[in-house]
Amino acid sequence: MGISKLTTDKVKDRMDIEEVISDYVPLKKKGQNLWACCPFHGEKTPSFSVSPAKQIYKCFGCGKAGDPIQFIMDIEGIGFQEAIRHLAGKYGIEVEEDETQTPEQEQAQNERESLLIALGFARDFFVKNLQTDEGKAIGLSYFKERGFSPAIIEKFDLGYALEGWDNLLNSAKKAGFQEDILLKAGLILEKDGDPSRRYDRFRNRVIFTIHNISGKPIAFGARILTKDKNQPKYINSPETPVYHKSDVL
Ligand SMILES: [Zn+2]
């Protein structure tokens, strides 16, 4: 994101060195050029020259030189984009933002979309598991005991992760998901950093789906129901490119 090239071109066409600099220092004509006491270094006799013909300024005392954009950057202490905004404001030019992304931004965007699709698949998987024999016996009966109605269970995407190490991993791979995306989505774990030893993060637990503001699943919370002292009672998705705990909670 930034200012569109069209806006930058409009500013460049419209800007005038004399108009821009005389907003800051009074200019006096002498020969072809205009002169002032330099606004960048202290002086009593003018060594700061402005050439309307060349549309540049140059100080013979401190060496500062450039075009109107450079002048605004130097005197306001701002960057190129801000200088364009400043000049657009001066000349009443509407600033158009450029919607095109850099290749890096585009790649990150594509990755976030892939993660959301994988998380959506996992949500569907966990929700479906709740209707299996194991899911009904353990997960659904837990939700019912806690007073969750079928409508609430459906609305909040409550689900169940089956017992086993690779139920989700295998189903997702069969559906065409890459393991690296599942890993980045926080759905699977990797033992000792070994890509050949990947397994489901959520196992043998009831699943609470966490959604973003547009209602897409971005993470899961999970509670174990069996008495396994080696397992924490609650676990959650880690932070991922689509799940920042501080934003959601
Ligand atoms: Zn100077």
Domain stop point among 67, 98, 129: 98
pLDDT of residue 186: 97
- CATH number of the domain encompassing residue 52: 3.90.580.10
Q: Are residues 92 and 160 in the same domain?
A: no
Q: Are residues 169 and 233 in the same domain?
A: yes
Averaged pLDDT for residues 231-235: 91
Q: Which domain holds residue 146?
A: 103-248
Q: How far is the CA of 58 from the centre of ligand 1 (A)?
A: 8
Asked if pLDDT for residue 100 goes beyond 80, the answer is no
ipTM score for this prediction: 0.98
User: Which is it for the CA torsion 135, 144, 202, 184, positive or negative?
Assistant: positive
Q: How many domains does the chain have?
A: 2
pLDDT of residue 23: 96
Q: Are residues 80 and 109 in the same domain?
A: no
- Residue ranges near ligand 1 (ion) with Cβ within 5 Å: 38, 40-41, 59, 61-62
pLDDT in tens, 108-162: 889 999 999 999 999 999 999 999 999 999 999 999 999 999 999 999 999 999 9
Q: How far is the CA of 43 from the centre of ligand 1 (A)?
A: 8
Q: Are residues 143 and 228 in the same domain?
A: yes
pLDDT in tens, 160-174: 999 999 999 999 999
DSSP letter string over 196-236? TSEEES--SEEEEEEE-TTS-EEEEEEEE-S--TTS-SEEE
pLDDT of residue 55: 96
